[in-house]
Structure 1
């Protein structure tokens, strides 16, 4: 007797169980079994969604609008799962799996599907969503059942027992998700919804035992169970994403705090080195307070961190430019002085250059250095040395001799 005839869920309609867990290498035999099952499941899911798509075209325009959004989301998940399957098969490479490939298979199975830009999942109600491959498969199962029910294509529609079994399986998966919700109003709300679904399920079973026709009430129950399961999976994925975001934000706070301390040291060095020195406020990263937990507050906190980062960049560039200007003036004076020392100059020029260099050395030795005077005197020093060492027009040419006049002989 077939599984459907016995009222059991068809194995081809449920995603295969993923082997291992994140960080545990997947052995070749486990990977081959999983990939074979996943390949068949992906093909079946695409066929199911294709049937839904064709059925939607027969619905009224209002019904099409209501179902098309969920169908688009389901197809997005299917594409992400299919793309990850391709990467898994490429890594598996027909069974040539070494230690590196085994770890890579584990990461591809249990890592996030949106870890690269080609696999970005989104839901209209919640924006970007980061889920693992098993979570995406479960979510796609739930979405597909919902779409099939709404399009009157639920698998085994003629067999109420099979549909009831699938709904009860969805309820159990949902029950496993509720304890994962943090204590508070959200968990209470999810538990209350699950309790209502349990009561509806109990009422449906009682009606079925009495021989009543339950076909009309299975569909709405299937949809509500699938929606609650989907919402809990989405919420769990968002909490995991928020936790990772908080960790990254805390790391950014530590990095910015270290940068701020270094820039304050740079500020002190600049104030001691030149006058007038720039004066910019260096923000205190710790004044922003601890990293918040709520997603909305975390987003605003990261925006403030970005403004702090830009302020630190500006302060760094400004104080570094002040020190660089001092070094430029000192380097110019040294180079021009070396050029003057190697040139042959007349005594007057040597005296002027020595006096300019003496005044420059006094200014350069001052702490803080008056940068405007130093720059002006360095420019004058450079210009004077350039003029004094430049060959003068006509210098070094031999004197022009006037040819001697021959005596004029008298004619005979």
Structure 2
């Protein structure tokens, strides 16, 4: 089983064109080879009468392969035969190291990066091969040991990404697997048949590697959600303060003003940092955001109604001046009353509406003379 090629660069980096070209070629070869291998495994499972038993594993592997293949197509299209400037090279970096969209059948519905998806596919393909016992028992045992040792080195790198509270336990698990593999290697060097010992280690190593990859993806996903939650909370706090000022202005300006409580963002408590809690907290932030937006519209509409009445009165007065009737005693008195009511704090809007309408009626009467 050929492992996936190592991905170049890192997120946000404009990857060197030569590295991109090598990766595109190697990944294309890996994708083609893995498709053939998965086809062979599927046929082997059916031939062994275990097609139904292993259908879930095959479906997940094919979903992973499809997600990888789809992302490779985007990388290949962006690569465009090497016609790439810095912007395209940065975009390729984002395609490789960003979250894989559309991979809904991954463990836990995670959106992992392209290299992580490839490693997951490698690990789970090896696990499926072990379940079907397709590896030969003779000279290939040494190759299986080499593959296991390479896998444990990948796991060592993955353990280094674990947080401090779980890293020690993960390191102990890795050390146990390496001790067992060393023991198997010694027996193999003495000429013993170790096929029965390799299978359990392969299964445990694969499960362990998969769990580490999935766990790291979950934490990264949670971290991004935590950052999003912090940014949203800061935005809501600023909006809360602005809305309170808007509400105070509205209450002081308009009678009767809307009466909506301004949501208190502090009541939500601090932003949690655990995956189990962050989803619920984000939902709460969303509800607060909707409440703030609703209240903002109501207070702004009430203030706008007052401003519209002032503008409407100004327009009627301008029309009266254009018609040469602005000096009419009835219009002068009507305007004075309307402006006096509109200038009150708070201004009774219903009365102001009637007074502006009265000015309009007097204006129509004067123009009709």
Structure 2 distance, partners of 1:372, 1:238, is 57
2:106 corresponding residue in structure 1:
123
User: 1:119-268 maps to which residues of 2 (within 5 A)?
Assistant: 119-124=102-107, 126-131=108-113, 133-154=114-135, 159-184=140-165, 186-268=166-248
User: 1:41-52 maps to which residues of 2 (within 5 A)?
Assistant: 41-52=30-41
2:62 corresponding residue in structure 1:
75
Tell me the secondary structure at the aligned position of residue 263 of structure 2: coil
- State the Cα distance separating 1:156 from its structure 2 match: 7.8
1:382 corresponding residue in structure 2:
360
Q: TM (normalized to structure 1)?
A: 0.80
Give unpaired runs (5+ residues) of structure 1: 1-9, 392-412
Change (3 A) 1:306 1:101: closer
Structure 1 distance, partners of 2:13, 2:346, is 61
Structure 1 distance, partners of 2:76, 2:310, is 64
Name the Cα RMSD after superposition: 2.6
CA contact (8 A) 1:73 1:122 kept: yes
1:359-396 Cα shifts (integer Å, max 9, x gaps) = 222212222211121112223333444355447xxxxx
Tell me the secondary structure at the aligned position of residue 99 of structure 2: coil
Structure 1 distance, partners of 2:133, 2:364, is 94
Q: TM (normalized to structure 2)?
A: 0.89
Structure 1 distance, partners of 2:355, 2:18, is 81
1:410 corresponding residue in structure 2:
none
Change (3 A) 1:191 1:291: same
Change (3 A) 1:103 1:314: closer
CA contact (8 A) 1:145 1:154 kept: no
- State the Cα distance separating 1:121 from its structure 2 match: 4.7
Which structure has the bigger radius of gyration? 1
1:210-230 Cα shifts (integer Å, max 9, x gaps) = 543322332232122111101
Structure 2 distance, partners of 1:53, 1:135, is 23
CA contact (8 A) 1:20 1:26 kept: yes
Give unpaired runs (5+ residues) of structure 2: none
1:123-174 Cα shifts (integer Å, max 9, x gaps) = 34x222322x222222211111111111233478762111122122212221
Tell me the secondary structure at the aligned position of residue 180 of structure 1: coil
Query: Relative to structure 2, which stretch is displaced further, 156-165 or 270-279?
Result: 156-165
Change (3 A) 1:361 1:102: closer
- State the Cα distance separating 1:40 from its structure 2 match: 1.3
Structure 2 distance, partners of 1:57, 1:228, is 27
Structure 2 distance, partners of 1:79, 1:70, is 14
Change (3 A) 1:21 1:352: closer
Between Structure 1 and Structure 2, the one with more helix by share is 2
Counting matched residue pairs gives 368
CA contact (8 A) 1:149 1:219 kept: yes
1:91 corresponding residue in structure 2:
78
1:297-319 Cα shifts (integer Å, max 9, x gaps) = 11121111111101110111011
Structure 1 distance, partners of 2:68, 2:74, is 10
Structure 2 distance, partners of 1:151, 1:334, is 86
- State the Cα distance separating 1:44 from its structure 2 match: 0.8
Query: Relative to structure 2, which stretch is displaced further, 20-29 or 304-313?
Result: 20-29
Query: Relative to structure 2, which stretch is displaced further, 102-111 or 259-268?
Result: 102-111
Residue 291, structure 1, aligned to residue 280, structure 2: no
